[in-house]
Amino acid sequence: MNDLLKGKKGIIFGALDEKSMAWKVAEKAYEQGAIFTLSNTPVALRFGQLDELAKKTNSTIIPADATNIADLYDVFEKSMEILGGKVDFVLHSIGMSLNVRKKIPYPELNYDYYKKTLDISAISFHKILQVAYKLDAVNEWGSILALSYIAAQRTLYRYNDMADAKALLESIARSFGYIYGREKKVRVNTISQSPTMTTAGSGVAGIDSLIDFTERMSPLGNADAVDLADYTVTLFSDLTRKVTMQNLFHDGGFSSMGMSLRAMHQYNKSLEVDFPG
């Protein structure tokens, strides 16, 4: 390893189990010399395996509901205490939609659930930023990242109101990134990751065939959680200090593809089935 994060302190929100993107980020950050705390909701802590990760990475778990300001103050205050000072990086890997879970179609959204989707998946990022900012809890040239998805730009059936949440999340990154950069030299970005088979993602109907499609569309194939962790390390490091307010596609090229040979080849098989003879 390269000691890319040697001496850096951080907070990682949203690791659940070893399939989680945040989990892989934690492992890689640890390998690269960082120290950090882990946070997730009490429910997630009960059902996940975060203790294992904490042990492995020598880190402390601070339970918090990321939509709750008081909880977030607790996370930042305790983290600074435990880590011995301000932090250098924060990862936001949080998202949930009851409309998706309950298979409520987009034109019939339940608005209470919709607001919850936005609150948990996007506004929580503003709250984390606000608390960090008010506490002055991030060192100069610190790096704050949230995980997003291309649904923020292009509609995917079934992704439902999570698309709106990701669009809002990316806007918050820009809006707050301006202020945080100007006032404290802290950068704020989002990574727009390939569809990734996490425990959360695996519940989404039809995700298998979507992943098959994006795999064939992407010249380098889908980026997985380990790839993401590697990329995240660079964005937490001092080598990317002037990158801010960006949404960075990390997807094997998918976002810049209109049609690939492999995906078209596969699609054509279906047409043969349709029009036999």
The residues in 63-92 that bind a copy of itself, with binding defined as CB under 8 A, are 69
CB of 238 to a copy of itself, least distance (A): 7
Q: Which residues ranging from 185 to 204 are in contact with a copy of itself (CB under 8 A)?
A: 185, 187, 194
Contact yes or no for 60/38 (Cβ under 8 A): yes
The one among 14, 143, 159, 196 contacting a copy of itself by CB under 8 A: 159
Convert residues 115-144 into a mask of x (bound to a copy of itself by CB under 8 A) and - (unbound): x--xx---x--xx-xx--xx----------
Kindly provide the residue ranges of all beta strands, DSSP E only, lying in 184-243, ordered along the sequence: 187-193
**Candidate list 103, 273, 276, 277; residue touching a copy of itself; CB under 8 A:** 273
- Out of 156, 197, 201, 215, the only residue in the binding site for a copy of itself (CB under 8 A) is 156
CB of 109 to a copy of itself, least distance (A): 7
Verify binding: residue 100, a copy of itself, rule CB under 8 A.
Answer: no
Asked whether position 252 contacts a copy of itself by CB under 8 A, the answer is yes
Show Cβ contacts of residue 250 under 8 Å, excluding neighbours closer than 6 positions: 191, 192, 193, 194, 223, 227, 228, 231
Least Cβ distance, residue 194 to a copy of itself (angstroms): 7
Three-state secondary structure readout of 2-60: CCCCCCCEEEEECCCCCCCHHHHHHHHHHHCCCEEEEECCHHHHHHCCHHHHHHHHCCE
d(CA 180, CA 173): 10
